[in-house]
Each structure stands twice: as structure tokens, then as C-alpha cells.
Structure 1
Amino acid sequence: MTPEIAVRARARVGEGPVWDAGRGLLHWVDIPAGHIHTSAPATGRTTSLSLPTQVGAAVPRRGGGFAAATAEGFASVDADGTATVRRAVLPDGERMNDAKCDAHGRLWAGSTALDFRHGRGALHVLLPDWTSRVVLDGLALPNGLGWSPDGRTFYLADSIAGEVYSFDTDPGDTVLRRRRTLVRIPERAGLPDGLTVDAAGCLWIAVWGGDRVVRVSPEGDLLAEVPMPVHQPSSCAFGGPGLDVLYVTSAREGLELADDDVAGSVFAVGRTGAVGLPSTAFAG
């Protein structure tokens, strides 16, 4: 499991990778730059949309374009980059962070204070009619999100707390029950950031400041570690024709680096022995 550069970039905070199987493309963002990138691993070509706001994540919409989690709340983004705020739910001093669609086409997104103050973070769900509600509050920096293959367990990282939580839920529902800590990462070892769940139900968690991605069982046992050539791996998603390549985003923000340092690039990890779950477009 040796990481290779899939997209050489200088993203300040690369995040939110999502594999578009129908088009064979990887979508990802640079949060503070407000960029939505679309990369074709087969050709190495990347095209970009620039938004006039921070963008924590962007996922394809069923009818084209993207649904984006932004500094204001939720926005629709046309193919030409025109962004329209559809749901302004956040006050000044906060922004949306990581986001992901569930199997029913609803977009779940974590919001955070710009200073990552504990208690100011929350988990929101955006419905296809562009209404939204808060599902969980009292967080700091809600990050990686995912569901078990049967949809009965929901996972959420709170990076500042250093924990990944699991919740019981019903497929098709947005109610979370019985929160418990699945993984705790000591601060000295990094912070749990973005994550993805494979077809076997195991979690792959990018460890920001920890130079690695870890694979964890549904019971919280450490199964494998993938050393990364960057200090701040930020998120991951399975892609490729067989959903067997792990794509890992990374960040340059806050680091003193040479111009040619690979931080901020997207990496591809093959031969993991795992297969991912297909992504779902936003249904709105």
C-alpha cells in the first residue's frame, strides 16, 4: 500500500473527495480557497470552479452541477461555477466543513466556528427540497462522516475532541441514537479527519498531523496503517472502476514547506485489499 501522486496540487486544505462513478471523475475541494476541483485520474487533467466563499465539501447533484456546504450554509453550484445560496443557516464566524450524501440523496454536513470553539459545532442534514435541520449539536469540529453498508450505523469524527463516534440509526431515517466513542486518537498522534467506509464495514480515517491513514474495524480495532508522504492527510474516498483505489486529499495550510513539496496533492493508494461503497448524488 504505497501512496502515489494522483493529482499534483498545492491545495491549502484539500478535502471532501467523492468518486463520480458514472463519469470516472474525482471531485474534491480546497476549503479556504473556495475551489471545487474535478480530476480525471486516467488523464491527469483537473478542472476547477471558483466560488466567492469557503466551501467545505461539494457533491454532484442528480440533475447536474453540485450541492455545496459553504460558509453560509448550503448552495447549488451550476456547471459554470455560478453559486446560489439556497439555505443560509450559519451566522458570521461559522462555516460548513465536511459533508456527504447518504444512500437516499440527503446531504449531511458538519458546521464549525472559525476558531473551532467547543460547543459551537453542529451536524445538519439537507433534504432534497432544500430544507434542513440540525441533527446533533454541542460539537467542536465535526468532520468525517459515513454509514455502515447496511445503513444502520452512522459514523462521525469530531477532530478537536480526537474522537470518532458511532450511532444507531434506521435506513432512511435521520434520527441518531446511542452515541458512543468508537475510536479515540491522542492529540500527540494527530486528529481524526475525513473518513470513508468500505464494503466490509471498516473505516478508513485520515489522521491530520499524523502522517497516516488508518483502517479500523466496526468494533474500533486498528487493522492497518498507511503511512503518507504528507503531514496533514485530510480525507479519503474509494474510487476507480473497481472502487478499489483509495484517494487521499492533503493540506499545506499552517506548514512551512518548499515550493515543490507534495503537500496539498491528492494521492492514490492501491492494493489495499478493500473495496469501497458507491457514492450517491444529492437528490435536490
Structure 2
Amino acid sequence: MAGVGTYANLDVAVRNDTSDVGEGPVFDPHTGHLLWVDIYGRKVFEDNLNTGRQTVTDVGTMVGAVAPRAVQDGFAVAVADGFGYVTGGGLTLVDPVLPEPSLRMNDGKVDSQGRFWAGSNDMEFAPGQGRLHRWDGDGPSVVVADGLVLPNGLGWNAEDTVMYLADSYANLLYRADFHAERGELGRLKVLTKTEGVGVPDGLAVDVEGCFWVAMHGGREVRRYDPTGRVIGLVPVPVLQPTSCAFGADGHLFITSARHGLSAEELTNSPLSGSVFVVETGTEGVPVRPFRG
């Protein structure tokens, strides 16, 4: 891509060759630890990047996203059947909004007011079955948007007026007007259709109004400007980068997956399942803890 900058100073932050589908990285502001999940491995990871100590919790079901909590102990999670909490090493399902075995929760993120947003999808990725949910923590979740395929990465601009959303198997990146105080979303409008190798997966938004998208199957993370134009690339030494999140001082952390790779592909990408880090020269829009 002509005129596109490349971020080449990538390193390994967490080496993991057993994680099936690493996803949903986010930092806990209380501890500074990196949280992330293995969707099919049913695990929540908590990594102290200073000491290398890792805590692993098996939640007993597929888990799409994890979020720190503002006051209470443990974490909020989006799991196969809905939303709940991980405390004391176990899962408590609070909002079983998806009892159908053909559906599951996927990636999610907390907005500036502490509400948990997450996408859900059909296990066979049937078109039109994907939905976007919002859980405020004091009652059942609500469906905010539907008619999608695989709603995935999401995030908000620094002004808190726009939400970005990736629909992976539609190869679409959406934007919508956002009302932060009410938690209301305007109509999803296609910002761009992704082209090239890979599908848009998880994303993170920076303070300059740009957003970074992991291209699953494409060996790269792309930086898009607010108009949907690619302005930066992060080459990743694995086939399936899955999501990304900003830490401190402009560092972007990138999760990855091993799921579905052949023995030959794993030989060529032995770090698949690990978490990578790259210096970006910018900072991320802060991601808040869940208020519930």
C-alpha cells in the first residue's frame, strides 16, 4: 500500500504456544496487569508483564471477552451463554441471554460510562444472526444492533461521539454516532470494506482518532484513519493476529490464535497463540472498568 507507514519494532510480550484463540486484551487499571482470553480454551489470563507471572482461570465455557471491575473483585466476562463474573477462580453467570447452543458471545469492551458491550454470533457464522449487546450490570442486557455476521472488535473515539465496529466475515468496518450518557448508538454505517488477505478482527482506538485492526489470516495489524483509509501497518510473525489493546506509553499489545492451523502452518508460525507488543508513537483511548 503506497504511502503507508510500517511499525517494525515488534517484540513478544507473552510467549504462549498452547492458546487456541487468544482474544480480547485489556489492561486492569488497578494492577496494571494484562487481561486476555482463550475463547475455545475457556480460559482467562492475567499477566504481570513486569515479573512474568501469569494467572490462568478456566471458566468452563467459551469466553469471548474479559473486563476489570471498577469496585468489586474479579472480572466481568462475556461467555457462551451471556454475561457474568469470574471471582474466586469460578464463573457466575448473571445474564443468560444466549441459551441457544447455536449462539455464543464474542469480543467485547467497556465504554466510558462502565457499560459492557459485546457481539454475539451463530456458531456456523450464519449471516444476519450476529447481534451487538449492551450490559449495564443492573439488569438484563439489551440488543443494540442486529443483522450482522460476526460482530467483533469495537471501540470509541476520544471525544466519545463515535463507535467503531468490525464485522469479520462481512469484511466490513462500521462507524456509528454514539451518545455516551445514554449509551445509545446511531445507525451503523459502512466506513470501509477491507481488502487484501485476512478479515478484520479485534480493534483499539487511539487518541488521534485512528483505530488499529488485527487482520485475522493476514499477518498484520492495520491502522485506519477516521475516513477508513489505511495509514499504517504492523507486520506480525503469525498468520492469525486476533485483537489489540493499548498499554502505557504508546505500546500496542496484539493477541493471536493457533486454531485451525495445519502442522505446516504452525511450524512456520511457532509463536501462534502468543501476545506481541509494538511501539506506536501514540496513545490509546482509555478503556474503563465495568461498573457492575
Report the TM-score, using the length of structure 1 for normalisation.
Answer: 0.95
**Counterpart residue number, 1:5:** 12
1:186-205 maps to which residues of 2 (within 5 A)?
186=195, 188-205=196-213
Q: Once the two structures are aligned, what percentage of the paired residues are identical?
A: 46
Q: Which moved more, 1:18-27 or 1:90-99?
A: 18-27
Q: 1:221 Cα shift?
A: 1.5
Q: 3-state SS of the aligned residue for 1:207?
A: strand
Q: 1:178 Cα shift?
A: 3.5
Q: 1:176 Cα shift?
A: 1.8
2:85 to 76, 79, 98: 76
**Counterpart residue number, 2:251:** 245
Structure 2: which amino acid aligns with 1:215? R
1:255 aligns with 2:261: yes
**Counterpart residue number, 1:109:** 118
Q: 1:116 Cα shift?
A: 0.7
1:121-136 maps to which residues of 2 (within 5 A)?
121-136=130-145
Structure 1: which amino acid aligns with 2:155? G
**Counterpart residue number, 1:18:** 26
Structure 2: which amino acid aligns with 1:28? W
Distance of 1:14 and 1:30 partners within structure 2 = 4
Q: 1:128 Cα shift?
A: 2.4
**Counterpart residue number, 1:57:** 65
Structure 1: which amino acid aligns with 2:118? A
**Counterpart residue number, 1:223:** 231
Gaps of 5+ in 1: none
Contact kept in structure 1, 2:22 and 2:256, CA below 8 Å = yes
Distance of 1:93 and 1:67 partners within structure 2 = 23
**Counterpart residue number, 2:101:** 92
**Counterpart residue number, 2:289:** 281
Contact kept in structure 2, 1:20 and 1:279, CA below 8 Å = no
Aligned CA-pair RMSD: 1.3
Distance of 1:16 and 1:178 partners within structure 2 = 25
Q: 3-state SS of the aligned residue for 2:41?
A: coil
1:185 aligns with 2:191: no
Q: 1:277 Cα shift?
A: 1.9
Report the TM-score, using the length of structure 2 for normalisation.
Answer: 0.93
Distance of 2:190 and 2:131 partners within structure 1 = 17
2:45 to 31, 37, 45: 37
Contact kept in structure 1, 2:239 and 2:269, CA below 8 Å = no
